[in-house]
């Protein structure tokens, strides 16, 4: 089974709403203006079209995709999309829990509603660098406790974020900020998106110590090679080779696609006509990954966490 564990489900209205909320300086206002202008303002609406999703999943060779709404959309929208889909078994929805809104959607009660009533299978993608907020803060712990109780994973973004203004609190991009939660909730699985980008070395070390920490492999080549130290850079092949040695049972393949593959809202990580053309899949073959390792990374590990 092939599972893309990082897709997005956001309409143009969702992008505009979040931009309006966080576009507080001149750079943010420029981003907001660009989002409203296009180049194709209606392209994101394809994210709500089941036909486009199914056609693209079939064409690329993917069985299931995880659909995230954070930080742009809302939980009821993605749950409604999945529940009404003819092929609902092809989608795995995860909840948006807003840690910047402690009186609103940042609550254990909202997560319980999302899991028990809406049928969502996790939380993500959370962005400590928006706001910002500290994932080791006590205010997050009731949500972590509820996620551990229900056995659903939490996906979180760490590493350099180049998108201007809206995601600019880089001091909160350190995966070590998760360590307190990893120790406090040993049965709660955390997934770090994009292998933490330029912080992949820190993530690699932390995964040696914390068995409930996982890494998702999408878009990390857009940040690597980057200055891993003050003295040089490191290639994506080198990074993946090292992770394969010790962490193949906790790596998850993904694309970070912003909408159905092959549409205007898709991202460059969906390369070629089929999954065999994907750069991560090619690297796995080049690095000599075993069939067992590839089966885990391309879907087996995600199936254990999301229990679709």
Q: What is the pLDDT along the chain (308 residues), one digit of tens a residue?
A: 999 999 998 776 776 776 676 666 665 666 666 666 654 555 566 667 899 999 999 999 999 999 998 777 789 999 999 999 999 999 999 999 987 665 555 689 999 999 999 999 999 999 888 768 899 999 899 999 999 999 999 999 998 765 544 556 778 889 999 999 999 999 999 999 999 988 888 999 999 999 999 999 987 766 565 545 445 677 888 889 999 999 999 999 999 988 899 887 776 678 889 999 998 999 999 999 999 999 999 999 999 999 98
Can you say whether the dihedral through the CA atoms of 203, 123, 101, 8 is positive or negative? positive
Q: Which two tokens stand for residue 259?
A: 């909408």
Q: Which two tokens stand for residue 225?
A: 């090679």
Burial pattern 251-262, b for ≥16 Cβ within 10 A else e, equals bbbbbbbbbbbe
- Yes or no: say if 198 and 160 are a contact pair by the CB < 8 Å rule: yes
Burial of 199 (0-12, 13-18, 19+ CB in 10 A): buried
DSSP string of 212-280, one letter each residue = TEEEEESSGGGT-SSEEETTEE--HHHHHHHHHHHHGGGEEE---BSSSTTSTT--TTS-SSSGGG-HH
Q: How far apart are CA 169 and CA 167, in angstroms?
A: 6
pTM: 0.91
Structural domains of the chain in order of their starting residue, each with its CATH number: 3-306 (3.20.20.140)
């Amino acid at each position: 089974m092939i599972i893309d564990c990082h897709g997005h489900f956001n309409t143009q209205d969702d992008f505009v709403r979040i931009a309006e909320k966080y576009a507080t300086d001149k750079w943010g206002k420029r981003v907001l203006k660009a989002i409203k202008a296009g180049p194709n303002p209606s392209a994101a609406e394809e994210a709500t079209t089941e036909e486009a999703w199914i056609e693209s999943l079939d064409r690329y060779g993917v069985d299931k995709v995880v659909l995230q709404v954070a930080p742009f959309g809302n939980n009821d929208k993605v749950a409604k999309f999945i529940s009404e889909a003819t092929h609902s078994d092809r989608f795995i929805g995860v909840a948006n829990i807003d840690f910047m809104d402690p009186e609103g959607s940042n609550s254990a009660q909202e997560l319980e509603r999302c899991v028990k009533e809406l049928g969502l299978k996790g939380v993500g993608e959370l962005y400590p660098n928006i706001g910002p907020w500290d994932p080791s803060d006590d205010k997050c712990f009731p949500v972590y406790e509820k996620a551990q109780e229900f056995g659903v994973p939490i996906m979180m973004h760490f590493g350099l974020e180049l998108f201007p203004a809206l995601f600019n609190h880089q001091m909160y991009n350190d995966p070590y900020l998760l360590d307190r939660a990893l120790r406090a909730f040993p049965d709660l699985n955390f997934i770090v998106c994009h292998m933490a980008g330029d912080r992949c070395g820190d993530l690699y070390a932390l995964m040696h110590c914390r068995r409930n920490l996982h890494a998702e492999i999408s878009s990390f080549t857009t940040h690597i090679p980057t200055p891993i130290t003050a003295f040089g850079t490191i290639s994506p092949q080198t990074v993946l080779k090292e992770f394969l040695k010790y962490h193949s049972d906790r790596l998850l393949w993904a694309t970070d696609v912003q909408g159905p593959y092959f549409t205007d809202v898709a991202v460059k990580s969906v390369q070629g006509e089929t999954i065999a053309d994907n750069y991560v899949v090619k690297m796995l073959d080049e690095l000599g990954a075993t069939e067992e390792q590839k089966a885990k990374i391309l879907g087996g590990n995600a199936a254990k966490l999301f229990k679709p």
